[in-house]
């Protein structure tokens, strides 16, 4: 899987969006070539963290920050984390939801400036802050995905 290289010299918004896309592609690459059983393999006890759970979680994080917070689309179910997987959970289903959330995020961001804000926890949060938070969130989880993938089949890199 080819990851988009973030530009070395670009405007702030292009740079933020490119780094976010880079980490989205990195997480997808960590899952590439594995079947659903392997994607459900937990790291090491007592952790129940899995690659499939990370994909589900990031779909929820995209929904939370770009849908609930930025666009004000609150759902009654709240933020559940998405880490839990079942025997019925599949990468195909998780990726479809994740891709839809990413597309929705892009749509929600397109008409907003980096300084635009939305209400959050009694204050205001800017789109710039959300982008930076999401880059950090993905970076952290991609590091976890590195270790999970290495444990599953020894694959490193990407």
CATH at 59 = 1.20.120.450
Residue 5 in domain: no
Residue 121 in domain: yes
> Which residues constitute the domain of residue 29?
13-153
| CB distance 107 to 73 below 8 Å | no
Residue 78 in domain: yes
Residue 158 in domain: no
pLDDT band, very low/low/confident/very high, at 80 (cuts 50, 70, 90): low
Q: What's the DSSP call for residue 82?
A: S
Q: Which distant-in-sequence residues (6+ apart) come within 8 Å of 28 by Cβ?
A: 1, 55, 95
Residue 33 in domain: yes
pLDDT band, very low/low/confident/very high, at 1 (cuts 50, 70, 90): low
The predicted pLDDT at position 44 comes to 84
Quick check: pTM over 0.85? yes
Q: How far apart are CA 24 and CA 89, in angstroms?
A: 20
Q: How far apart are CA 73 and CA 25, in angstroms?
A: 26
The number of distinct structural domains making up the chain is 1
């Amino acid at each position: 899987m080819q990851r988009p290289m973030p530009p070395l010299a670009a405007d702030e918004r292009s740079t933020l969006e490119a780094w976010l896309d880079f980490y989205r592609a990195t997480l997808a690459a960590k899952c590439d070539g594995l079947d659903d059983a392997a994607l459900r393999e937990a790291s090491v006890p007592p952790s129940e963290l899995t690659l499939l759970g990370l994909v589900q979680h990031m779909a929820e994080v995209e929904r939370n920050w770009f849908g609930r917070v930025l666009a004000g689309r609150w759902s009654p179910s709240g933020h559940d984390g998405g880490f839990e997987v079942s025997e019925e959970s599949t990468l195909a289903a998780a990726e479809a939801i994740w891709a839809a959330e990413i597309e929705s995020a892009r749509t929600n961001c397109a008409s907003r400036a980096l300084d635009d804000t939305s209400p959050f926890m009694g204050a205001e949060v800017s789109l710039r802050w959300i982008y930076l938070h999401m880059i950090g969130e993905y970076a952290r989880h991609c590091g976890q995905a590195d270790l999970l993938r290495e444990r599953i089949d020894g694959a490193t890199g990407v």
